[in-house]
Structure 1
Amino acid sequence: MPKTLSADDIQQFREAMRRVAENAFATRGAQGVTMRELAKELGCSAMTPYRYFRDKEDILAMVRAAAFSRFAARLEAAAQRMPANALAIDRSAVSEAYVAFALDEPHAYRLMFDQTPQQQDVYPELAAASQRARHLMEAHFEQLVEAGVLEGDPRLIGYAYWTSLHGFTMLALANQLPPSAAQPADPAGRDAQQPSREAVFAQLLRMLWRGALAQPK
């Protein structure tokens, strides 16, 4: 008779599976991973994962929900540290946290946004986690519009801002942006006039903020 699983047993196995599956899905794609392969990488029998998950899609939803939750927590922490009276153009903490998360956890970030959307009514935990991140971005711009700092539809501003940050982030992950200023100099000699990745990011934020700033009455 199978051992009765405690809540701790379930949580420990799910967390171990999350770590293994996140790497597998991000590097090989969801279609290139099987339940049997995940079980082998985890060091358990082929049937053991079925005691904890319905199928591979269930595991992918769990991995993506956990990634969205960590992402949202990073953004929330940055928003809480930001002075309430900061000017719009100085409110870069949330944007910096956004990019920092992706660079710190590239596998998680790619799985959040590069996978075919799963049915959110089937995976309510994933739906809640993704909405948590989206709500934070929307609330940030709602506050600025209400305060008269920005003008326009806060939801539209939020989507435009998110789109721009995602584009910058994906280019950074693909090494298609200039090197970071913190990286050591290229021994072969780097173009002294080439901007750093940080300079590109700062320019992007200036352009985004100025495009939505409220005009003096």
Structure 2
Amino acid sequence: MSPQRRDPAIRALLIDAAARILAEGGTAALTTRRLAAETSRSTMAIYTHLGGMERVQHAVRVDGFARLAAAVNAVSCSPDPVADLARVSDVYFSFGLSQPHLYRAMFIDRPVQDDDAGTAAFDRIVKAVRRCIDGQRLPSIEPAMVLMWAAQLWSMRHGIVTMVLSGALPEPQARHVLSDMTLRLLIGYGDDPAAARRSLRHALTPPGAPE
């Protein structure tokens, strides 16, 4: 019998199903039999596309962060770096809400020591902060503080997404909280309050709508 060929569509199907199982039941619920049953695929398909059950959870995490990185990296750069930073924030928030099972599974367990799955997504936030500094919207700071600010912005987004997914905060209120916290952080970092408000309004106003 010839080996199965890897199909990106089947891999995505398995990843999404595994993420749902992990989010709903934790690692104990994720078994070869259940994953095969929920996707109507053979156990061989799981080994072919994900490398066996011992690697499925890691594959879910890596794939999830790859999708998140693709989403935030799709935010184009405009002349207003603060507005771009707000757009990255909004995309992160929307990603978490649109793929709740995958998002939960990405953070469900402590990763292995060499896991750098989240680096690309984090680097996009770092880049957005640096553009605000280079554009003289935020003051020059030590490189370590750039990473600190980016981590604070990520933590804020993650916390709000988690609250919405858990039912602790309604989505409309969460969007308002996210915008307000972003504004307060930017002002705290040194941006002009009026300019920060204009940038956030511009970033979060749908195209064609009056600001």
What TM-score range do you get, normalising by the shorter chain? 0.7 to 0.9
Once the two structures are TM-superposed, the CA of residue 47 in structure 1 deviates from its matched residue by: 5.1
Once the two structures are TM-superposed, the CA of residue 38 in structure 1 deviates from its matched residue by: 1.3
Superposed, 1:109-128 pairs within 5 Å as 109-120=103-114, 127=116
Equivalence for 2:199: none
Once the two structures are TM-superposed, the CA of residue 45 in structure 1 deviates from its matched residue by: 4.2
Provide runs of 4+ in structure 1 moved above 6 Å. none
What is the TM-score normalised by the length of structure 2? 0.77
- Name stretches of at least 5 consecutive residues in structure 2 with no aligned partner: 193-211
Call closer, same or farther: CA 1:51–1:177 in 2, change over 3 Å. closer
Instruction: Say if 1:89 and 1:209, in contact at 8 Å, map to a contact too.
Output: no
Equivalence for 1:145: 133
Counterpart AA for 2:73: E
Of residues 154, 163, 169, the one that matches 2:161 is 169
Could you say what secondary structure the match of 1:5 adopts? coil
- RMSD of equivalent CA atoms: 2.4
Superposed, 1:96-135 pairs within 5 Å as 96-120=90-114, 127=116, 129-135=117-123
Q: Is 2:60 aligned against 1:63? A: yes
Q: Percent identity?
A: 25
- Name stretches of at least 5 consecutive residues in structure 1 with no aligned partner: 122-126, 181-195
Once the two structures are TM-superposed, the CA of residue 213 in structure 1 deviates from its matched residue by: 1.6
Instruction: Say if 2:20 and 2:101, in contact at 8 Å, map to a contact too.
Output: yes
Instruction: Say if 1:89 and 1:205, in contact at 8 Å, map to a contact too.
Output: no
Give the whole-Å Cα distance in 2 for the aligned partners of 1:14 and 1:179: 31
Instruction: Say if 2:18 and 2:35, in contact at 8 Å, map to a contact too.
Output: yes
Q: Is 2:185 aligned against 1:202? A: no
Q: Which of 1 and 2 has greater Rg? A: 1
Equivalence for 1:83: 78
Call closer, same or farther: CA 1:37–1:208 in 2, change over 3 Å. same
Structure with greater proportional helix content? 2
Q: What number of residue pairs does the alignment pair up? A: 188
Counterpart AA for 2:181: L
Give the whole-Å Cα distance in 2 for the aligned partners of 1:4 and 1:47: 9
Once the two structures are TM-superposed, the CA of residue 42 in structure 1 deviates from its matched residue by: 2.6
Give the whole-Å Cα distance in 2 for the aligned partners of 1:214 and 1:12: 45
Call closer, same or farther: CA 1:40–1:144 in 2, change over 3 Å. same
Once the two structures are TM-superposed, the CA of residue 214 in structure 1 deviates from its matched residue by: 5.4
Q: Is 2:18 aligned against 1:24? A: no
